[in-house]
Structure 1
Amino acid sequence: MVNNTKVYLEVVKQLREMITNDGLETGDKIPSERELSERLNFGRSSIREALRALELLGLIETRRGEGTFIRDFRGNHLVQLLSTFILQDEKAKRDVFETKNFIEMDCLRLAIHKIDDQSIENLKKWVNQQGIIDDNDFFYQIVEIADNHLFARIWSILKDYYYSFGSSKMIYSRENYLSLLEALAEKNESKLLTAYNGLRNLSVFNDKY
């Protein structure tokens, strides 16, 4: 049985195999969510998440009122990228982690200009109330405040890819999160990035990953 963090990656893999086995070409229509759910024996929500991932990578497109179609599936270099992720290549794992970090930093930069005092106070209260702080929950809130839909989609997918490799969740210091929030409150980008580097311990990144 595939665990929850790997479900939609397994669906993506089976979708690719189905497209290849059925001989579907660029421009061809793929089956509906319901049909895919029945054929691949996965729930509709998992099928939908897999289709979103493929659409984000530019491999399929949804046309309102018409359905979902293949976009340059065989020739697109992103197929190789996706294949690398699914094969759980060690370099892909490192690349995913680094890219996730960059997106988090960009979301923090955006949040400087969009966060208000009440949101900062709410986040501080949330951090102080947690026994063990869930890093994903913290940055989900930051990504929401950044209010960039594409960043949010990419971050969510990269996060799931990273943990699908079997990586354990890191536990970070409460003080690190509070330092990030202080920098946001001061709207000090330099201090913010220093705090983020401290959180992720990026100075020893090469030794740990």
Structure 2
Amino acid sequence: MQKIKKMQLHEIAAQEIVNYIQENGMQKGDKLPSLEEMSKLLDVSRTSIREALRALEAMEFVKMYNGKGVYVDDPSSYRFSTKIDVSNEKTLLLQACQVRRALEGLAVELATEYATEEQIERMMRYLDEIKNNPDGPITNLADKNFHQTIYEASRNTVLQSIITSLSTLFDTFWESAPLGQQSLFQDTFPFHPAIAEAIANRDKQEAAVQFNRLMDAIEQNIQNVATENK
């Protein structure tokens, strides 16, 4: 038997919300049940429902309006992330690395051209958070924000949209314990300052070199974890 892929509660809730929309033939502009109703229907907390809806909104599947409710936005936009069915977690992570290397590598190169001083300052601030809290939960959030700032600095809305559509998959690197390892990617943090410095110096070649070193380290760490297919 193959190892079952772990899913977080909000991911399961997101899939159930999608199923509800599809099974009821809902279209753009149709209103979903209230947060409280969905919480009761799915028997999960309102927090998990909010996280699920935020993920679906990022993929432009639903739209949330303060004080008005949640509406179907674009039913055709529910893309890659929850449809991927790769039962071997190591294989999933390595395939995600290939996609991330291509997409984020391009974002890094574009950021060397277009990053504003404010965006560079933000990157440095997130690096300080990582440095000052090496073992705390803030580290993963700061790391995620660092990379998202690079995406933003690319100034390529199509590229950002594609990366957003893969957000649930990419969150594997920041919000879970892949392969049962809580700190699988922590020793890659030293590469981050070199990437930020290259972006600040507008050095596209060095930025690409440092980013690829980061991805090489991540892939090597994944390969080094002994896993079994059961």
**Fold similarity call, TM over 0.5:** yes
Which deviates more from structure 2 when the two are superposed, residues 36-45 or residues 138-147?
Answer: 138-147
- Equivalent pair of 1:183/1:189 in contact (CA under 8 Å): yes
1:94, 1:187 → 2: CA distance? Answer: 29
2:148, 2:48 → 1: CA distance? Answer: 23
- Equivalent pair of 2:97/2:215 in contact (CA under 8 Å): no
Matched, 1:191 2:202: no
Q: Deviations over 1:33-59 (max 9, x none)?
A: 121122212222221221222233333
Question: How far does residue 197 in structure 1 lie from its aligned partner after superposition?
Answer: 0.4
Alignment of 1:124-135 (within 5 A): 125-126=128-129, 128-129=131-132, 131=134, 134=139
2:105, 2:176 → 1: CA distance? Answer: 22
- Equivalent pair of 1:115/1:145 in contact (CA under 8 Å): no
Local SS of the residue matching 1:68: strand
1:58, 1:107 → 2: CA distance? Answer: 21
Alignment of 1:9-48 (within 5 A): 9-20=11-22, 23-27=24-28, 28-48=30-50
In the superposition, the TM-score normalised over structure 2's length comes to: 0.61
User: What RMSD in Å do the two structures reach over aligned CA positions?
Assistant: 4.3
Q: Which has the higher contact order (CA 8 A, sep 6+)?
A: 2
Q: Deviations over 1:122-166 (max 9, x none)?
A: 566555545469465334234247646974982753333556594
Unaligned runs of 5+ in 1: none
1:124, 1:62 → 2: CA distance? Answer: 32
Q: Deviations over 1:105-130 (max 9, x none)?
A: 35534554224686676566555545
Question: How far does residue 66 in structure 1 lie from its aligned partner after superposition?
Answer: 5.2
Alignment of 1:54-203 (within 5 A): 54-62=56-64, 67-71=69-73, 73=75, 76=76, 78-79=77-78, 81-85=80-84, 87-89=85-87, 93-109=93-109, 111-112=111-112, 113-115=115-117, 122=125, 125-126=128-129, 128-129=131-132, 131=134, 134=139, 137-144=142-149, 147=152, 151=160, 154=164, 157-161=168-172, 166-167=178-179, 168=181, 169-173=184-188, 175-201=190-216
Local SS of the residue matching 2:171: helix
Local SS of the residue matching 1:14: helix
1:67, 1:140 → 2: CA distance? Answer: 28
Q: Deviations over 1:152-202 (max 9, x none)?
A: 982753333556594443233554233223313322111011001011117
Unaligned runs of 5+ in 2: 1-5, 225-230
Amino acid at match of 2:194: S
Local SS of the residue matching 1:38: helix
In the superposition, the TM-score normalised over structure 1's length comes to: 0.66
1:82, 1:174 → 2: CA distance? Answer: 25
Question: How far does residue 10 in structure 1 lie from its aligned partner after superposition?
Answer: 1.2
Amino acid at match of 2:202: K
Q: Taking structure 1 as reference, are residues 97 and 32 closer, same or farther at Cα in structure 2, changes over 3 Å only?
A: farther
1:123, 1:83 → 2: CA distance? Answer: 29
1:203, 1:36 → 2: CA distance? Answer: 38
Amino acid at match of 1:47: I
